[in-house]
Amino acid sequence: MDDGQEGRKTGMKRTALLSLLIAATVLLSGCNYHNELKNLQLIYATALDLNEKNEIVTTVTIQSPGSKERTAPTHEVITASGPTMEEALYQKVGTQLAGPIGTSKNQVMLISDKLARTDLASLLDATFRSSSDPMLSMVAIVRGKASSLIDLERIGSATAGEYLRKLIISARYETSIPNVTLHKIFPIFYDPGRDSALPILKRVGNRAEIDGIALMNNRRFTGYSLNPDQSTLLLLLEGKLGGTCVITRNISNDGMGKNEGNSENDADSENEGKMNVENHSQYASINVVSMNRSKKVWLENSRKVHVRIRLQLEAALIEYGKNSMADKQTIDDLENRLSAMLTAEAKQATGMLKQANSDPLGIGRDLMAFHRGTWNKMDWNTVYPQTEFEPIIKVKIVSKGIKN
């Protein structure tokens, strides 16, 4: 055998050996990857609180995957504290788990109202920077301790994160709260012409409840919030209409019905049932099916800001038991009463925005676009509370159901 054939055989042996080494490496790394996934501790909800030491208290609900011996996944709640959320999560919570932490399934990020008064952009900075954290996680503020909602008893196999996620999605669909995710609030945090508005939740017994919208200023919770009725009006003023929007109001002459105050004569108690029926007939419920919105922002004497928002709401009548709706005069009267009431409530809501110095309607953004020179010379935090809002809401009944 000559030297050329000897060299070729040696080269073939080396190639075969190298191939075996590569295959073994791939197989071993695949096994390690499989084992890592099997032991992965998935976070489904995160709650952030502030303790007396001004440390971040991070509470998470963990779902561990099942195994041959345990087919169903297990759930547990773990709490740890630290100077930052990341340290509390990865260094404190991570040391309590038998496996690496996975944040890709995190569905909700809950922040206590106390902690929300700090700079939320700094608090969530590591989350914004991480490619593994889901930017579609829903963000909400909680009255009291945020961890109180993580501790809710599970229904069936659902985690607290799944329960809260469905609750928030339902409220969004009903035009009760805005659609707020990590992805959506990130650019607003750094926008000088607009403030964010976050859903606010509270615990009632063993369930969570939507409590309106928290008003923000300069990436901090102002302490002011809108109740659920005002929250719906704010969303409509922004031009946001969910899958359904039911509005129920007492449309009696005095706007309050006859159920206020206490009777001075106990003999009148026999009429209580009759009065309740009469009071019930004073209520009307409509579902907004479409809307037309216009907004105008202008300056007076280069300083005073005026905002006029017109809403034309087309609605279907859901309930109104007082009169027959076949009469046009009755329809006109109902439309006028609802229009006047909603306009007055919208003025109260915009007044609350000024009191909180919160600009979720993006009035500053309009000034930046159309009055740039004045905007550059303006201290918006001083000017905005003096803004004149003029909301005008008109209701038109386009459907009365099959009764009339």
Rounded-to-integer distance, Cα 199 and Cα 180, Å: 8
DSSP per residue over 96-162, as a string?
Answer: GSSS-EE-TT--EEEEETTGGGS-HHHHTHHHHH-SSS-TT-EEEEESS-THHHHTSPPSTT--HHH
Which residue's entry shows tokens 């329809």? 331
Rounded-to-integer distance, Cα 89 and Cα 48, Å: 10
- The angle at the Cα of 68, spanning 62 to 71, to the nearest 5 degrees, equals 50
Sequence ranges of the domains in the chain: 38-226, 246-251+281-399
pLDDT for position 87: 82
Give the right CATH number for 246-251+281-399 from 3.20.20.80, 3.30.300.210, 3.40.50.620, 1.10.287.3510: 3.30.300.210
pLDDT for position 3: 54
Let me know: does 340 contact 332? Beta carbons within 8 Å: no
Tokens of 62: 């963990």
**First CA to last CA distance, the chain:** 106
pLDDT in tens, 123-167: 998 888 887 778 889 999 999 999 999 888 765 557 788 889 999
pLDDT in tens, 342-383: 999 999 999 999 999 999 999 999 999 999 999 999 999 999
pLDDT for position 255: 46
Let me know: does 309 contact 294? Beta carbons within 8 Å: yes
Let me know: does 206 contact 153? Beta carbons within 8 Å: yes
> 207-217 and 197-204 as β-strands: parallel, antiparallel, unpaired?
antiparallel
pLDDT for position 139: 96
In order of 139, 178, 220, the CA distances from 198 in angstroms are 7, 7, 11
pLDDT for position 16: 64
Q: Which region, left, alpha or beta, applies to residue 148 given φ > 0 means left and ψ of -120 to 50 means alpha?
A: alpha
Rounded-to-integer distance, Cα 341 and Cα 349, Å: 12
Rounded-to-integer distance, Cα 143 and Cα 146, Å: 7
Outline where DSSP puts E strands in 268-357.
283-300, 304-320
Instruction: Extract the residue ranges of the chain whose pLDDT is less than 50.
Output: 29-35, 254-270, 272-275, 277
The closest alpha carbon to 195, from 134, 120, 126, belongs to 120
pLDDT for position 152: 81
Question: pTM for this one?
Answer: 0.82
